[in-house]
Chain A
Amino acid sequence: EPEVTQTPSHQVTQMGQEVILRCVPISNHLYFYWYRQILGQKVEFLVSFYNNEISEKSEIFDDQFSVERPDGSNFTLKIRSTKLEDSAMYFCASSPGGGLYGYTFGSGTRLTVV
């Protein structure tokens, strides 16, 4: 069964450092997403990406965040200057047709900012 792959599985970084979280979505999917989940809380939408551009972003997705699909297979989330409150699980997801179909999620990257 096709999978969404995320790396690394766990990242520890110092406050103020830049981090890049990587994802390889399912190859024939067209919509890509980043969500985050702070420990014990709900899964929050960050950003959606379609046709090589951001189609929607949440209030959480401020200027510190950016996404890229640099080579047609990888989909990355960059946080420029991490804060303690950025500590969370970050999930990448892809879908063949947006929310009209189920999403396939990766296993997540646990980001710990110290």
Chain B
Amino acid sequence: SQQGEEDPQALSIQEGENATMNCSYKTSINNLQWYRQNSGRGLVHLILIRSNEREKHSGRLRVTLDTSKKSSSLLITASRAADTASYFCATASGGSNYKLTFGKGTLLTVNP
């Protein structure tokens, strides 16, 4: 089964606007994490929210988690051109080491 499916697949906004990306998953999880990937580069960990948490903030990032709907959202406020990147959600579930399973990502373009 697919875990961590993000939508939209692509999002284009103007600098200063807020960007919201969503993620849905299918199985129970220990936590959900969001990563950013600039073109051709590695993934950078942004934020982790545990299954018993509903909302978390880090700077301009706000993440929510609804385990009853098996969904999460990432909000980036006051976006900047430098926020242009792909954003992936990843779920940690099962197994001896709770490996991460990534979604397909949302490509965010912030226009100056």
A residues apposed to B, CB below 8 Å:
4, 31, 33, 35, 41-45, 48, 50, 55-56, 89, 91, 93, 98-108, 110
Contact = CB atoms under 8 A, between A and B. Distances in A.
Nearest to A42: B104
A102 B96 contact: no
B44 interface: yes
Given A41-B104, A91-B42, A107-B41, A102 B33 contact: yes
Interface of B: 30-31, 33, 35, 40-45, 48, 88, 90, 92-93, 95-105
- Give chain A's interface secondary structure class: strand
Contacts of A41: 104
Given A42-B102, A99-B30, A99-B31, A55 B96 contact: yes
Contacts of B104: 41-42
Contacts of B99: 33, 45, 48, 56, 98-99
